[in-house]
Amino acid sequence: MNKWKASLVSLFLSLFVLLSALPAAAAPTPVSVQVDGKKIEFASNEPIIDNGVTLAPLDALLSSLNVALKESGAETVLVAADGREVTLHTTIRTINGIKYIPVRSVGEAAGFEVRWDAATRTVVLTENEGGRGFLWEVKHNGNTVYLAGSMHIADSSFYPLHPSFEEAFDEADYLGVEVDISNAADPENQQLIAELGMYQDGTTLKDHISEETYKKLGAILALNGLDTNALDAYKPWVAETTISTLQSMQAGYESQTGIDLYFLQKAKERNMPVIELESYESQLNMFNSLSPELQESNLNAVLDGYNDIDDNVDLMAELWKSGDDEGLLELTKAMAQNEEYYKALLVDRNLAMTDKIVGYLNGTEKAEYLVVVGAAHFLGEDGIVKLLEDKGYTVTRK
C-alpha cells in the first residue's frame, strides 16, 4: 500500500481544520429544499442556515411534505398522511414573526431520507440506499454505549445512514465526539492554531523543509489559485492538512457532510448534551509534537498523491459505506509501518478514549450514549473494541 493511501487513514482518525490560510469563501448561494426531485417554492421567506442547521418556514414545509403538527402535552407531534404520529425532538423558532423548523427533523420524522447537496446548497428529501458504516454496542451496569465509526468528510451518497445509526441516536441521552467541530471557528480555537501551527521564531516553512518539497507545495498552491508562499508562516503539519482539505473539497467530500457533523447537527436540534472525548488543544498538540522528519514525510505523501485524490478518497468512502471491517483493518495496519505516527494518532488516543468510554459504562446515571469517533480507532490489536474486550466488556457489532 502506498504512503498516500496510508495517509488517507486520517480521514477516519482526525479532523480537517479549515485554516485562516485559506482564501475567504465567496458569498453563499441561497439555500433550497427539494422533495422527490421537486424544489419547494417558498413565498417571501426562504430557508436559512443557523449554526449549521437548515431551517425552513414551517407552514410551507409541512404542506410540501403533506404532514401536520399537533401539541401533545409539552411535546410537538408530527402527524403523517397515513395517520402515523412521531414525536419531534426539536424546537419551532420564530424569526421576524415567521415560524421556522429544522428541515432534517421534520423530513426524517415524515419518513423521508434527508441529505445535503453541498454543490447546489440544497437539502434533498428522497430515498437513497445510503451506507452501512461501522457501529458497535456495549452494555454494562445499566448503561449502554453505541460506538459509531465516523468518516470525518463525506458526500451525499453516505446518506441515509443505516437505520441502526438513527435508532442508536434516538435512544441516546448523550452524544460523544472527539471534539465538537461545530466550534472550530471559535476565536480560542483559531488562536490555538496560530500558536501551535505557526512559527514563532521568525523562521518560515521554507527554512524547515527541503527545497524539493517546498517547490512541490508551491506548485500545488498555485494550481489552487493561491500564492506559492501562502503557507510560509505555517508548519508542515498545517500545510499537509490544508492541501488535504482543499483536495477533498474539490473531490466533493466535505467535513460539513461528515458523519460527526451530521450527528452534531441532530444533537443541537434536539438539545442533546454533547460530550468531548478529546479537545482541540490535545489534537493540535498531537500533530505539533510529530517529529520534523515525519511532518515533512506526511506532507510529501499528500503532495505526491495530489492527482490520485478522487480514486483514493472514493476507495475510503466505499469502504465505509459497505462497512468493510477487513478493508478498514488493512488501512489501519498501514499506519503501523511508521511507529511514531501510529502511536501518536492511534495507540495513545485509543487508550485515552477507551478510559472515557469505560467511565460512561460504569456511571450511576443508567444512561445511553452514542459515541462517534473516527472509524480507524476501533479495529485491530490496539483498537477500542479490543481494549474494551480486554477489560471484560462484550462488544457487539450492529
Confidence of residue 1 (pLDDT cuts 50, 70, 90): very low
- Tens of pLDDT, residue by residue over 288-320, are 999 999 999 999 998 988 877 656 677 788 888
- Tens of pLDDT, residue by residue over 70-128, are 887 778 888 877 677 878 878 899 988 899 999 988 888 887 878 888 888 899 987 54
Radius of gyration of the chain (CA): 22
- In the chain, the percentage of residues whose pLDDT exceeds 90 is 49
Q: Looking at the structure, do residues 195 and 66 belong to the same domain, yes or no?
A: no
The dihedral formed by the CA atoms of 249, 255, 256 and 262, expressed in degrees to the nearest 10: 150
Query: Among 71, 86, 120, where does a domain finish?
Result: 120
> Has residue 214 got a pLDDT over 90?
yes
Residue whose C-alpha is closest to residue 7's, from 312, 293, 281: 312
The phi and psi torsions of 290 (rounded to 5 degrees) equal -65, 145
- Tens of pLDDT, residue by residue over 336-384, are 888 999 999 999 999 999 999 999 999 999 999 999 999 999 999 999 9
Confidence of residue 149 (pLDDT cuts 50, 70, 90): very high
Q: Crossing angle, helix 292-304 and helix 236-250, to 10 degrees?
A: 20
d(CA 61, CA 42): 8
* Residue 362 three-state SS: coil
Please say whether the dihedral angle defined by the alpha carbons of residues 178, 193, 199 and 209, taken in this order, is positive or negative: positive
- In the chain, the percentage of residues whose pLDDT exceeds 70 is 90
| Chain center to CA of 110 | 25
Q: Looking at the structure, do residues 91 and 144 belong to the same domain, yes or no?
A: no
Indicate the range of 7-16, 57-66, 293-302 predicted with least confidence.
7-16
Find where cell 487508550 sits.
Answer: 351
Residue whose C-alpha is closest to residue 150's, from 249, 277, 242: 277
What pLDDT, on a 0 to 100 scale, did the predictor assign at position 309? 60
> Has residue 153 got a pLDDT over 90?
no
> Has residue 217 got a pLDDT over 90?
yes
Residue whose C-alpha is closest to residue 380's, from 328, 304, 310: 328
> Has residue 2 got a pLDDT over 80?
no
Of residues 22 and 205, the one with the higher pLDDT is 205
Mean of the pLDDT values across residues 275-284? Answer: 93
Q: Looking at the structure, do residues 40 and 19 belong to the same domain, yes or no?
A: no
Helix ranges, 8-124 (H): 10-13, 58-65, 103-109
In a domain, 248, yes or no: yes
The rounded mean pLDDT for the chain is 86
d(CA 117, CA 126): 12
What pLDDT, on a 0 to 100 scale, did the predictor assign at position 14? 55
Q: Looking at the structure, do residues 175 and 96 belong to the same domain, yes or no?
A: no
Q: Crossing angle, helix 187-197 and helix 280-288, to 10 degrees?
A: 10
Q: Looking at the structure, do residues 20 and 87 belong to the same domain, yes or no?
A: no
Query: Among 120, 145, 179, where does a domain finish?
Result: 120
Q: Looking at the structure, do residues 111 and 147 belong to the same domain, yes or no?
A: no
In a domain, 173, yes or no: yes
Q: How many domains does the chain have?
A: 2
What range defines the domain where residue 106 resides?
Answer: 32-120
